[in-house]
Chains A and B, each alone.
Chain A
Amino acid sequence: QKEVEQDPGPLSVPEGAIVSLNCTYSNSAFQYFMWYRQYSRKGPELLMYTYSSGNKEDGRFTAQVDKSSKYISLFIRDSQPSDSATYLCAMTKGGGSYIPTFGRGTSLIVHP
């Protein structure tokens, strides 16, 4: 079993839909949870981060962590064609040299 599991998709939705992207993990020591957005042929950029459990909202994006279930989610409201990208979850225990563990990424396509 991989430490972080993420469905690669692709996930295709119409413009304006609510998108739910998810990752599961097996290591209960993970404390910091991140979501990166990666456009085609570009480097990933940090989109959102959360510490421990709970929700965090930033505009149309909401990150949610459920440590008891070892499950994290990213919700995108009112999705736009410009949201079409690959979304990677990442997580780390924190401290030391900082070595995050990444999911495979989910490809999202928002069509007009």
Chain B
Amino acid sequence: SQTIHQWPATLVQPVGSPLSLECTVEGTSNPNLYWYRQAAGRGLQLLFYSVGIGQISSEVPQNLSASRPQDRQFILSSKKLLLSDSGFYLCAWRYPSGSPYEQYFGPGTRLTVT
């Protein structure tokens, strides 16, 4: 069966510090991968998605970046965090040729920037 992991589960970082969040998927090959941010009361905002190693599409211009160094690994980074980067970060995956309604989310990372 497929499993998606995210770490850390919670993170408190000062403004201006760097960020690295990691997501890995087990049990499948060549998944489509997604990073979302969920701010309080604002729904899910798609940040990045990837259809393969080294292939990253950015949906929202900001001080975040994403990388996919391995097939089942997706990393979200920032060089200098802003207060507005606080939120709940979710990684998700789907089969590249799967049904349009199938997307599977990880447990999330709660980031607080102080």
Instruction: Contacts A43-B108, A44-B90 given; indicate if A98 touches B42 (C-beta within 8 A).
Output: no
- By a CB distance below 8 angstroms, the chain A residues around B86 are none
Interface size class of B (residues with CB under 8 A): 20 to 34
Say if the beta carbon of B24 comes within 8 Å of chain A. no
Q: Is the CB of A98 within 8 A of B108?
A: no
- By a CB distance below 8 angstroms, the chain A residues around B110 are 41
CA of A52 to CA of B14, assembled, Å: 46
Interface size class of A (residues with CB under 8 A): 20 to 34
- By a CB distance below 8 angstroms, the chain A residues around B107 are 42-43
Instruction: Contacts A42-B108, A44-B90, A98-B94 given; indicate if A92 touches B101 (C-beta within 8 A).
Output: yes
Footprint of B on A, CB under 8 Å?
Answer: 6, 8, 31-34, 36, 41-46, 49, 51, 88, 90, 92, 94-95, 97-100, 102-105
Footprint of A on B, CB under 8 Å?
Answer: 32, 41-44, 46, 49, 51, 57, 59, 88, 90, 92, 94, 99-108, 110
Kindly list 5 other residue pairs between chains A and B, CB separation below 8 angstroms, not including A31-B100, A33-B101, A99-B49.
A34-B101, A88-B44, A97-B57, A99-B46, A100-B103
